[in-house]
Amino acid sequence: MRTDMLQQTLEDLNGSTAEIEACALISLDGLMIASALPQGMDEDRIGAMSAALLSLGERTAQELSRGTLERVLIQGERGYVIMSASGPEAVLTVLAKSNAKLGLIFLDIKRAAQALSKMI
């Protein structure tokens, strides 16, 4: 039941805008909790990278006196990878297209992360 709710929340986030291409909820130790990823993406590698980057981002924000980490943003020529904490136990990773309106996507991610953190 809980897994279905997590999955539905991710699919709703994916469907909220055409600019979001994929998303996944990952535990802080890098294990995939639920995902809405395209076929052929390596969930284990995505999980490990997301957990490591979020941890590094948190340490960097702390060391450089930037306060609590809100998100890690990676911009490539074909789009964005956005990682945000989803409660103390997980990270929400979202893939967005290069033409994405980031302000709106950040809002959608924040809402989804809050909803997901209550289900974990």
The amino acid at 99: N
Q: pLDDT tens across 58-98, in order?
A: 999 999 999 999 999 999 999 999 999 999 999 999 999 99
Domains observed in the chain: 2-119 (3.30.450.30)
Long-range contacts, stretch 30-36, CB < 8 angstroms, 24+ apart: 33/6, 33/90, 33/120, 34/3, 34/6, 34/7, 34/10, 35/10, 36/7, 36/10, 36/11
Residue 50 and residue 103: Cα distance in Å, rounded? 21
Query: Mean pLDDT across the stretch 43-50?
Result: 96
Predicted local confidence at residue 112, as pLDDT: 97
Query: Mean pLDDT across the stretch 22-39?
Result: 95
DSSP letters spanning 65-108? T--S---EEEEETTEEEEEEEETTTEEEEEEE-TT--HHHHHHH
Q: Decide if pLDDT at 41 tops 90.
A: yes
